[in-house]
Amino acid sequence: MTVPAAVGILGGTFDPIHIGHLAIAEEAREALGLEQVLFVPTRMPVHKPGRPVTPAEHRVAMVAAAIAGNPAFALERAEVDRDGPSYAVDTLEGLVDAARAGGRPVEFTFILSAEAYAALPTWHRPAHLLELCRMAVVPRPGAAAADPSAIDRLVPGAQARTTLLDGPSLGVSGTLIRARVAAGRSIRYLVPDAVIAYIDDHRLYVAPASPR
């Protein structure tokens, strides 16, 4: 009997990637015994309509810089290389198909916050997504605790496919970091040094100069 590989999926806008993302990925890797965690930047986030998003090339580059020192972390470009909205179920279908074609069974676990998990019933084809992967839910400061039984009533089978992780619970967000950069404040220790350098080099998130 071949034991399936255990792979985590951490999707997000990553605008920019920060220590919260990295800590969540490492916690899931250790707690669930994952062989690898794939970071999947979205191309067109469907749950953030109307908000300007930094071009994908920059967000991908920042993810690559942030995870370069961890051999268990890898960048997955499936969504940024695909046209149209970024649906998790489409990404998982592609990853499952690729794993089957490669001849090695893989068990995928989708890593997400309690806030995102609460919205799972509104996602595109959530029941099929749960057929393709398990869910690992991490707490998010200010959000209600995850309730798999409530999700199960709307998406049958969700509770059996969900694992709740204890943490980490870090109050860091892309919104906070972008605001600090725009205000000329330090983001040291909130994002990896390599990401700070990239933001500085490309002048990302800098407030536009006032007209004279």
For the chain, give the mean pLDDT: 93
* Residue in 94, 98, 93, 104 with CA at minimum distance from that of residue 3: 104
How many domains are contained in the chain?
1
| 49-75 per-position pLDDT tens digit | 667 899 999 999 999 999 999 999 999
* Local confidence band at 141 (pLDDT 50, 70, 90 cut-offs): confident
What is the 3 state secondary structure string of 32-71? Answer: HCCCEEEEEECCCECCCCCCCCCCHHHHHHHHHHHHCCCC
CATH number at residue 35: 3.40.50.620
| 104-134 per-position pLDDT tens digit | 899 999 999 999 999 999 999 999 999 999 9
Domain that holds residue 121: 5-171
Tell me whether residue 203 is in a domain.
no
CA angle, residues 168, 151, 131, in degrees to nearest 5: 90
* Residue in 17, 18, 1, 21 with CA at minimum distance from that of residue 9: 21
- Please report the sign of the dihedral spanned by the C-alpha atoms of residue 85, residue 86, residue 87, residue 89: positive
